[in-house]
Amino acid sequence: MTRASAAKLVKKAFLEALESNDYRTLEEFLIQKQIDVDTVFEVEDENLLLASYKQGYWMPSYKLQRSWATALHISVLNGHLESLKVLLKYKATVNCRPNGKAPIHIACEQANLDCVNILCSHGAKPNCYSLSGLAPLHFCSTKMSMPCAHQLIWKGADVNIKTNNQDEETPLHTVVRSGIPEMVAFYIEQGAAINAVNAHRETPLAYATYWALNGKEQTYSPDHHLICRMLLDYKAEVNSRDEDFRTPLHKAAWNCDHVLIDMLLDAGAEPNVMDDNGCAPLQYVLKVTQVRASAQHEICYQLLLNHGAARIYPPQFHKVLQSCYSYPKVVEVIVNSYEHIKRTTKWRAAIPDDIYELYKDFYESLFEVCGNTPRSLKHLARCAVRRTMFNKCHKGIPLLRIPVSLKKYLLLEPEGIIY
């Protein structure tokens, strides 16, 4: 047998011992110096648990199914503590990154506290970066990995370390995006900067408002709502602006998330701030009304208008109908925010015939009251009260000593028909 063939057999036997946690056999190989402790193996890795690649680089697909790894990586991946201790006893390189990740990154991603403890006690760097620019704390992105994060911070990990890539996220950004309130509270207690910004100038609050909507399922996350509440209680900047001059309220409006719109407005969010395209939050709601099937759209519009949001320019009201014809309650809320608005020929053209027939009573009432005659005295009185209170409608109207039904009327609660 040639020397190369013998070495190949030894390497295969060593790998089998690693995968089965046969630490006694591993130690025999290492005692006899039949194989180097830092030998690199090529192993199956379909989920990329061992690999990390730089952003912006193309890799052939076949490369993404296999990774290079040392024995230390394989032991950490499988959670084989006995093998891990043997390898470290024989001076395995604890911060080696053959395929972009150090063992400490894998231990954190696997939420294996025992492995994290062992690696840290043998010199693993708590702030080292993977090839894709993530520090160990960025891999602590599940509730189960909180003990790992605690251990890393105790060992000197920087709670405000930013990813070394094009995103520049802090660990707080990471757990906010993942929707883990417990981790958010822990990081803040450990000194995480509440208003830290990433490369796009987005704060954790902006992240929480944006990621509260599951775009694929079109469902809203109570955990992200809770995180927003926590961040606001910790005095997060409610009117922070990202690189496109969007505030958290813009993002909540884009999601048609009435819970967060209410929360942000109550915390002092400015309803008329415009982004770099000249759009205020109300315009954001208008843009996505048709594609947010699970939203309570009329509440979003009520909240914004009751906090003093600027109304749609009357000659452009046909665009409201183009976006909201399937939601008569929305149309009613917006129409009732004007003292009087006159219909144009564009209005009827904006409503498909089948939708018009489906909501015929409502749309007939809309066209009737938006003619040349003034609205009812009751409606004009409503507009007078709202004009006096302006952006304090949400606070002032509930304090009036009038019946609840009138309070709802003043706050633009839809009734299903326009008078």
Residue-wise pLDDT for 177-224, tens only, equals 999 999 999 999 999 999 999 999 999 999 999 999 998 899 999 999
CB 248 within 8 A of CB 254: no
Task: Please tell me what DSSP assigns to residue 51.
Answer: B
As a whole number of Å, the end-to-end CA separation of the chain is: 97
Closest CA to 129 of 90, 168, 88: 168
User: Which pLDDT does position 5 carry in this prediction?
Assistant: 83
Q: For the chain, which residues make up each domain, given as ranges?
A: 1-124, 159-297, 316-419
Tokens 């995968």 sit on residue: 19
> How big is the chain, counted in residues?
419
**What region, left, alpha or beta, does residue 316 occupy, with left being phi > 0 and alpha being psi -120 to 50 degrees?**
alpha
CB 419 within 8 A of CB 369: yes
- CATH T-level topology, domain 159-297: 1.25.40
With H, G, I as helix, E, B as strand and everything else as coil, classify residue 350.
coil
pLDDT at 62 over 70: no
Q: Residue type at 213?
A: L
User: Which pLDDT does position 40 carry in this prediction?
Assistant: 94
Domain 1-124: what homologous superfamily?
Ankyrin repeat-containing domain (1.25.40.20)
The fraction of the chain above a pLDDT of 70, given in percent, is 98
Q: What is the DSSP secondary-structure string of 95-112?
A: T--TTB--HHHHHHHTT-
Q: State the average pLDDT over residues 379-392.
A: 95
CB 153 within 8 A of CB 185: no
User: Which pLDDT does position 178 carry in this prediction?
Assistant: 96
Q: How far apart are CA 69 and CA 183, in angstroms?
A: 30
User: Which pLDDT does position 61 carry in this prediction?
Assistant: 59
User: Which pLDDT does position 60 carry in this prediction?
Assistant: 60
Q: How far apart are CA 282 and CA 320, in angstroms?
A: 11
Q: How far apart are CA 199 and CA 171, in angstroms?
A: 14
User: Which pLDDT does position 54 carry in this prediction?
Assistant: 81
Rg, C-alpha atoms of the chain: 30
Task: Please tell me what DSSP assigns to residue 63.
Answer: G
Q: State the average pLDDT over residues 40-53.
A: 89
Q: What is the 3-state secondary structure (H, E, C) of 115-159?
A: HHHHHHHCCCCCCCCCCCCCCHHHHCCCHHHHHHHHHHHHCCCCC
Q: How many of the other CB atoms lie within 10 Å of CB of 175? A: 30
Query: What's the token pair of residue 172?
Result: 């707080």
Q: Do domains 1-124 and 159-297 have the same CATH topology?
A: yes
Least confidently predicted of 8-22, 56-70, 141-155, 396-410: 56-70
CB 74 within 8 A of CB 41: yes
* pLDDT 10s digits, 299-309: 999 999 999 99
User: Which pLDDT does position 57 carry in this prediction?
Assistant: 64
Q: Which residues contact 288 (CB under 8 A, 6 or more apart)?
A: 254, 255, 256
Q: State the average pLDDT over residues 307-333.
A: 96
CB 155 within 8 A of CB 125: no
Q: State the average pLDDT over residues 29-58.
A: 87
